Chains A and B, each alone.
Chain A
Amino acid sequence: MQQLAAPFITLGIGSLLAGALVSLWVKNARPVAITAALAAFVSFWLSAREVAVAGVARLFDPLLHWFEADALDAAPMAFFAALTLLVLILAPKRDAGSRAVSGMLLLSAATQTAYGAANLAVLAVGWWLTSLPFVLRMFGTDRSQRLSQGFLIVSAVALTTCIMLLHHVEIDELSHAGKLAFGMLILAVVLRKGVFPFHGWILSAFEHGPLLPTVLLFNGHLGALLIARSEAAALPEAAKHALDLLSIAALVTALITSIRSFAETRPRRMLGLLCVSQASFILAGIATANAEGITGALVHWLVVTAASTGLVCIVRVLEVRVSGSSDPAEHLGLAAKAPRLATFFLVCGFALIGLPGTLGYCAEDLLFHGALENHPWLGLALPFATAFNAINLMRLFSILFLGVLPKHVIGIPDALPRERWPLAACMVFLIAGGLFPSAVIHWRAEAAHEIEASFGVHAAQE
């Protein structure tokens, strides 16, 4: 059993948990939280580096053996840690109270637990824990958050049921219990990812919930992780057909949510629909079972994570600045006062919808080829969804940044240094990744190869 040189995963998760605990007791929690997130980022980055050097190996944590880092999860772990850091730095003062900051760290620790899990049971623990900060109402007591809490809990119950059944039956058999176990796994993914027709809870979370923790929750992409892990577990033929159906459901989700957005005028809901639609590409890509689609999906995973976090953070800082218009439907004309935020928004948005010059373009190029290869007709849904999402992104941009500046928003500042640098880092990743995509693709190629191999595609070709 190969091990990491140091217990990086334990250290990373431990620092997040310690940060969460300490944040609850100090008056100014943000510096503590940033320090904890930074320590976690360094730990996860070191583990990702070690995995990259080791190649194909699964490296177990030397302290707690139920954590491991491999080609699939090492990069998202480092990436998610960076994301947590970014959100904590960017969070407006009113979102950076002790409980909220502690909740975000707890959420991050839970997601990292799921990523670093060496078996399904630990993954389920992480899955459950991600709903904990919401159930404990660490981000506010709004009753409208109950819908999302309900969905999170039901998905966790489904996953737990699946794991309990798997203890008793072999999934290969596809007996009734086996089918039920597999059904529960698919249900957990569908609910968690907000696959159509269960996308409503994510919209509710975006609309009524706390935006920054919601984006952390959303960008865990635990549903996609579970599917990638299930594929790597070499599923039987019938189960693979079910995954094929899941891929179709994801394509349908991408298309329907992109169309649904045409009837929306409220920024938070538009943003939610945009994110759900683009994130559905990940699931669709992973289930394509070919190298282009899977690699595209894994790269798109990073793009969606970085770009949607950037967009959500910008919307949130604007909401805080423009008091009295927390969810405006009319034009705000903010580009005149905040041109840099407008530019950051555009770049993140263009990356999300895959415009050239950004990493999103390369990811979607691979995804489209993969989807077309797998479902020649349904694959066409992806370009349509992208085109509609692009139109909706511009609608959202025009609502927030174009038009006549209302009288009550005359004196707002542009991006503060605290906001400028993290957003610039996000933008550099998206653009540099777009100009030199081979490095990022290479980073994810090994994981894609493993998932593809689990389908036996190579064997069939050879």
Chain B
Amino acid sequence: MSLEKLSLALIATPGVLFLMLSLVWLLGGDIPERAMSRLTKGAYVFLTLVVSVIYWKMWQTDMHSIRVSLGDWFSVSHYHFPLTILLDRLSLPIVGITIILAGIVGAFSVRYLHRDPGFHRFFLLLHLFTFGALLVFMADSLDLLLAGWEIVGITSVLLISFFQYRPDPVRNALRVFGIYRVADLFMLLAVFLAHHWFKTASWNGMFSGEWPGHVNNLDGPAATVVAVLLVFAASGKSAQGPFCGWLVRAMEGPTPSSAVFYGAISIHAGAYLLLRIEPLLHYSKIATGLVIFIGLTTAVLGTLVHRTCADAKTSLAYASQTQLGLIFAEIGLGWTTFAIIHLISHAVLRTLQFLRSPSMLRDYNRVHAAAGGQIDPTGEHYESLLPKHVQVALYRIALGRGFYDAVVDRFIVMLAVRLAQLLAVFEPRFVSKPAPQPPVAEPVRSPAH
């Protein structure tokens, strides 16, 4: 089988699996847990084999990239939406790690979610997520990347509200979705403005040559605008800078989904985007400075908050945010190889930590016993170097999680709601009259009342 066909099989398998299983369920079919588990495991073993073969063949033939064009998805007049996928030295390692980690999480979830009412829903969403993530990493244009980007976002939100019968996951999923959509707006605008100003949004059109030696083709202030918009879009997906508040809310989902989304793959999609557009980023000093600033400030805030968190998953979420901040800064500083190594090792380590988090106390006790009943506390040395009042101030900021939610609620959410209420003046008063409700039976009162 040719490399092109293997690449297509790679991206199509989880998508087809999702579509087939969904259709069977929607039309009333019942898929037993065992069948779902075998299908999932089989699919990820197959995908791992495919990606290994692609690796091997590319290494053997010293091939730098595979580009598969499927023609135009649709076209109207001069506008075309190209369906082209790309596997190169940047995307291939990340595709490989995506498949392996998603497979591990899938295998883990078979037991973790055994007899859970949402068992099938979880696996359907896992397949959809894998498809979306592979689309992001294998897209040869911003247009196609955007499609995968949004699929990853929506599956993430649906998994946060996995425990739909509890109010907190529902509320948090809604907030995360809101932040995602606002962040995705930057991506949407970047794509449309790239088309509008440069008549292209494909990697081929935006850059010349192959990664990592590709050269930026876009110039002028318009290139800076597009680069800055993409930096904000990447920040949204990786919970950085102005979008740093959603990650902790996303911990409401089941542990395997936290591992695959916020430890392993989804959270790194922003960093991947920055790596992909690196020449454009470095063309604009504003964009470069912004990436470094966003990365470092988020890393500082993340590490502060992380130290005050009382539960395992929240603590891991802030730890992830800190590392992502550092990866952003590394990309901004042009340390590309280091950033990729950091990204992959962080994804692997964090997945392990998330998957072990339900057993954290047991693990701690085992390590404690193995160390002879004494483990030295860590992480308190640097703080002690600061003056006491600074320590207290930082502690307050950390406890308030940077006061992020308070600021967003007061200056964005409230303003939006107030504006929405003001717009009611354009609707006649009697339009807003509440719909008549059927009479509700009065509760029977005891004679004593």
Contact status A390-B167, CB under 8 Å? no
Q: Across the interface, name the chain A residue whose C-beta is closest to B176.
A: A394
Give the shortest distance, in Å, between B425 (CB) and chain A (any CB): 9
Q: Which residue of B lies closest to A327 (CB)?
A: B435
Check B173 against A398 for contact (C-beta < 8 Å): yes
Q: Check A262 against B431 for contact (C-beta < 8 Å).
A: no
Given A292-B77, A355-B154, A369-B79, are A387 and B428 also a contact pair (CB < 8 Å)? no
A361 CB-CB contact with B under 8 Å: yes
Give the residues in chain B near A454, CB-CB below 8 Å: none
Interface residues of A in 220-262 (CB under 8 A from B): 256, 259-262
Known contacts A327-B434, A384-B185; decide if A398 and B161 are in contact (CB<8 Å): yes
| B192, CB-defined interface residue at 8 Å | yes
Q: Are A147 and B147 in contact (CB under 8 A)?
A: no
> Which residues of chain A are within 8 angstroms of B427 by Cβ–Cβ distance?
199-200, 203
Most chain B C-beta atoms within 10 Å of own C-beta, residue among A201, A350, A356, A362: A356
Question: Which of B188, B195, B431 touches A200 (beta carbons < 8 Å)?
Answer: B431
Q: Mark B133-175, 1 if CB is under 8 A from A, else 0.
A: 0000000000100111011001001000100111100100110
Closest to B143 in A: A365
Do A383 and B185 touch across chains, with their CB atoms under 8 A apart?
A: yes
Known: A147-B428, A263-B421, A402-B164. A326 touches B437 (CB 8 A): yes
Q: In angstroms, how far is the closest chain A Cβ from the Cβ of B15?
A: 9
- The reply to whether B424 and A263 contact each other, CB–CB distance below 8 Å, is yes
Nearest B residue (CB) for A323: B438
Judging by beta carbons under 8 Å apart, are A203 and B164 in contact?
Answer: no
Is residue B177 contacting chain A, with contact meaning CB distance below 8 A?
Answer: yes
Interface residues of B in 170-191 (CB under 8 A from A): 170, 173-174, 177-178, 181-182, 184-185, 188-189
Min CB–CB distance A368 → chain B (angstroms): 5
CB pair B434 A391 closer than 8 Å: no
Flag whether A295 is at the interface (Cβ < 8 A). Answer: yes
What's the least CB distance linking B76 to chain A, in Å?
5
Closest to B153 in A: A355
Known interface pairs A369-B79, A394-B157, A420-B27; A263-B150 also in contact (CB < 8 Å): no
- Asked whether A403 and B423 contact (CB < 8 A) given A207-B435, A295-B76, A380-B189, the answer is no
Choose from A147, A260, A387 the contact partner of B181 (Cβ within 8 Å). A387
Residue of B151, B164, B184, B419 most packed against chain A (CB within 10 A)? B164
* Interchain CA distance A43-B115 in the complex, whole Å: 50
Contacts of B148 in A (CB 8 A): 356
Interface flag for A321 (CB, 8 Å): no
| Cβ of A229 to closest chain B Cβ, rounded Å | 21
Give the chain B neighbours of A182 by CB distance below 8 A: none
Nearest-CB residue, chain A, relative to B170: A402
A373 at the interface (CB under 8 A from B): yes
Which residues of A from 53 to 88 have beta carbons under 8 Å from B?
Answer: none
Residue from B72, B174, B181, B416 in contact with A259 in the complex, judged by beta carbons closer than 8 Å: B416
User: Do residues A365 and B420 form an inter-chain contact, with CB atoms below 8 A?
Assistant: no
A67 to chain B, nearest CB (A): 30
Query: Within 8 Å of chain A (Cβ to Cβ): is B440?
Result: yes
Question: Which residues from chain A contact B185 at a C-beta distance below 8 Å?
Answer: 383-384, 387
Q: Are A402 and B196 in contact (CB under 8 A)?
A: no
For B426, the chain A residues whose CB sits under 8 A away are 196-197, 199-200, 256
B59 at the interface (CB under 8 A from A): no
Verify if A137 is at the interface (C-beta below 8 Å from B): no
Compute how far the CA of A237 lies from the CA of B423 in the bound complex, rounded to whole angstroms.
Answer: 34
Q: CB < 8 Å: which of B72, B164, B177, B189 contacts A403? A: B164
B interface secondary structure, majority: helix
In the complex, the answer to whether A438 meets B74 with C-beta atoms within 8 Å is yes
The one of B19, B74, B419, B438 that contacts A441, using a Cβ cutoff of 8 Å: B74
> Once the chains bind, are B76 and A366 in contact (CB under 8 Å)?
yes
A365-394 interface bits toward B, Cβ cutoff 8 Å, 1 = contact, 0 = none: 110110011001001100110111011001
Is residue A208 within 8 Å, beta carbon to beta carbon, of the partner chain? yes
Interface size bracket, A side:
35 or more
Neighbouring A residues of B174 by C-beta, 8 Å = 391, 394-395, 398
- When the two chains form their complex, are residues B151 and A356 in contact, meaning their CB atoms are under 8 A apart? yes
B221 at interface, CB cutoff 8 A = no
Q: Does B73 contact A (CB under 8 A)?
A: yes
Closest Cβ of chain A to B411, distance in Å, is 15
Residues of the B chain whose Cβ atoms lie less than 8 Å from the Cβ of A261 = 420
Given A291-B76, A380-B189, A401-B164, CB of A372 within 8 Å of CB of B196: yes
Q: Is A21 an interface residue (CB 8 A)?
A: no
Are B421 and A404 in touch, CB under 8 angstroms? no
Say how far A32's CB is from chain B's closest CB, in angstroms. Answer: 28
Please give me the residue from chain B that is nearest to A329 by CB atom. Answer: B434
**How close is A415's CB to chain B, nearest CB, in angstroms?**
9
B99 to chain A, nearest CB (A): 20
What 0/1 readout, one digit per residue, does chain A (327-338) give for beta carbons within 8 Å of chain B? Answer: 100010101100
Please name all residues of chain A whose beta carbon is closer than 8 Å to the beta carbon of B117 when the two chains form the complex: 336
A369–B181 touching, CB < 8 Å? no
* B112 on the A face (CB < 8 A): no
Whether, in the assembled complex, B430 has its beta carbon less than 8 Å from a beta carbon of chain A, the answer is yes
Q: For chain A residues 142-201, which have a beta carbon within 8 Å of chain B?
A: 144, 147, 196-197, 199-201
Residues from chain B with Cβ under 8 Å of A259 in the complex: 416, 419-420, 423
User: Nearest Cβ in chain A — how far from B73, in angstroms?
Assistant: 7
Interface status of A30 (Cβ within 8 A of chain B): no
In the complex, B385 has a CB within 8 A of chain A: no
Asked whether, in the complex, the Cβ of B435 is within 8 Å of the Cβ of A405, the reply is no
Contact with A along B396-433 (1 / 0, CB 8 A): 00000000000000000000110111011011101101
Known contacts A291-B76, A362-B73, A372-B196; can you find 5 more A-B pairs with CB under 8 A? A292-B76, A324-B438, A355-B150, A390-B181, A398-B170
* 27 cross-chain CB contacts under 8 A: A199-B427, A256-B426, A263-B421, A263-B423, A263-B424, A266-B435, A290-B77, A324-B437, A333-B165, A335-B164, A336-B164, A356-B150, A362-B73, A362-B74, A365-B81, A366-B79, A368-B188, A369-B79, A372-B192, A386-B188, A387-B181, A387-B184, A387-B185, A388-B181, A394-B178, A398-B173, A402-B173
5 smallest CB-CB distances across A and B, nearest first, come from A263-B420, A291-B77, A356-B147, A262-B420, A200-B427
Residues of chain B touching chain A, judged by Cβ–Cβ distance below 8 Å, are 19, 22, 26-28, 72-79, 81, 117, 121, 143, 146-148, 150-151, 154, 157, 161, 164-167, 170, 173-174, 177-178, 181-182, 184-185, 188-189, 192-193, 195-196, 416-417, 419-421, 423-424, 426-428, 430-431, 433-435, 437-438, 440
